[in-house]
Amino acid sequence: MSLLASIPSPSSGTIDIGPLSIHAYGLMIALGVVAAVWLTGRRLEARGAGTRDDVSSMAVWAVAAGVIGSRLYHVATEWSSFQDRPLDALKIWKGGLGIPGGLLAGIVVGIWATKRRGVDWRIMATCAAPAIPLAQSIGRWGNWFNQELYGKATTLPWGLEISPGRVAAAGYPPGTLFHPTFLYESLWNLALCGFLLLLDKRRPMRAPRLMGVYLLGYGIGRFWVEALRIDATSHVGGLRWNQWVALVVIVGSVVYLVVSGRSDRGASESIVPESGPLGEGEYLPTDEPVDER
C-alpha cells in the first residue's frame, strides 16, 4: 500500500493571521533569503574574511537586483501573457520569477556590493555557493501555494492535486494528478546545498570555483525538471527555452571549471586549520598566486 495517495495543494495562496493576510509566495522567498544570508554569514565569519553585516549589506543589493532580474526575465520570455495586460507585469505576488535572470542580476550586483564593502568577492561567492540553492529550495514552495509550475500527468503516489479549474484549463479530465515539479526542484536544490557543503569540507577548491560547481549542478537539475513541465512557454528546436538556458549554464560552468582547474595546477593552496562546522574556515583560496616567501 502506498504511503501517499497524492499531494494536495493549498486552497489559497495566502496565509491569514487574524486581520493580516500574507502572500505565501513572497513569504517563502523571504524565508529562503533569510536562510541564505544566515548560512553565508556563518561561513564568511568562520573564514575570517568578513562579517555577517557584510553579508547582510551585500544581500540587500543582490536580492533586490535578483527579484528585478527574475521578473524581467519572466516577462520577457512570457510576453504573450502580458502584452494585453502590461500592468500585470508588476504583480509579482501572483508568481512569475525567472531564476536565470535573477541569478545573473543577483550575482553581478552582489559582486559589486561585496567589493564596495572591501570584502574579497571570490571568498564571498564561495561562501554563498551552498546558500543560494538553500534559498531556492525554500522559495520553490511558493509555487505550491500558487498551484503553478506543475508537470505532466502522472499516476505516481506523490502526484500533485490542483484545483478543478486548473485541471480543465490544462486540458485534462477531472481528478488528474501531475508531477510536483516544484517539489522535485526543491529537493534537488536541497541536495545540491548539502553536496556543496560536503565538497567544500572534504575537497576545498580555489575561490570562486565552488560557485561554478553550484551553477553546473543547478543547470543539470533545471534541465530535467523543465522537461517535465507543461506550462506554456517558448520552444526552440524541440526544447523549452529554459532548457536551452540551462544547457548554456552547464556548458559555461564546465568550461570554467576545466580552464580554472588547469590554471590551478602547480599553484599553491593556502590552508588554515578548520575553525567551524560545515567546512567553514578550512581555507582562504583565491585565484591569485600565493606568495610563499
Residue 10 DSSP class: P
Average of per-residue pLDDT across 117-138: 96
Q: What percentage of the chain has pLDDT greater than the value 90?
A: 60
Question: What local confidence, expressed as pLDDT, does residue 291 receive?
Answer: 42
Contact (CB, 8 A) for 174 and 164? yes
Question: What local confidence, expressed as pLDDT, does residue 270 receive?
Answer: 45
In Å, how far from its chain's centre is CA 10?
Answer: 23
Residue 222 DSSP class: H
Q: Is residue 290 part of a domain?
A: no
Residues facing 23 on adjacent strands: 14
Q: Is residue 213 part of a domain?
A: yes
Res 269 pLDDT > 80 = no
> Domain range spanning residue 233?
14-279
Q: Is residue 292 part of a domain?
A: no
Residue 139 DSSP class: H
Q: Which is nearest to 78 in space by CA: 15, 127, 149?
A: 149
Res 213 pLDDT > 60 = yes
Q: Is residue 48 part of a domain?
A: yes
Residue 49 DSSP class: S
> Distance (Å, rounded) from C-alpha 189 to C-alpha 203?
20
Number of domains present in the structure of the chain: 1
pLDDT-derived band at 235 (thresholds 50, 70, 90) equals confident
Determine the Cα angle at 32 with ends 29 and 35, to 5°: 155
> Distance (Å, rounded) from C-alpha 195 to C-alpha 201?
10
Average of per-residue pLDDT across 176-180: 96
Q: Is residue 5 part of a domain?
A: no
pLDDT higher for 40 or 273? 40
Q: Is residue 73 part of a domain?
A: yes
Question: What local confidence, expressed as pLDDT, does residue 281 receive?
Answer: 45
Q: What percentage of the chain has pLDDT greater than the value 70?
A: 84
> Distance (Å, rounded) from C-alpha 29 to C-alpha 239?
28
Determine the Cα angle at 121 with ends 116 and 122, to 5°: 170
Contact (CB, 8 A) for 45 and 52? yes
Res 3 pLDDT > 60 = no
Only one residue has cell 536565470, namely: 100
Q: Is residue 128 part of a domain?
A: yes
Question: What local confidence, expressed as pLDDT, does residue 80 receive?
Answer: 64
pLDDT higher for 77 or 145? 145
Res 200 pLDDT > 50 = yes
Residue 279 DSSP class: G
Q: What is the pLDDT of residues 40-74, one digit of tens each?
A: 999 999 999 999 999 999 999 999 999 888 888 87
Question: What local confidence, expressed as pLDDT, does residue 76 receive?
Answer: 79
Res 10 pLDDT > 80 = yes
Give the Å distances, CA to CA, from 169 to 97, 157, 165, 174: 21, 23, 6, 11
Residue type for position 55: V
Cell readout for 199 is 565538497
Tell me the average pLDDT of the chain. 85
Q: Is residue 225 part of a domain?
A: yes
Residues facing 16 on adjacent strands: 21
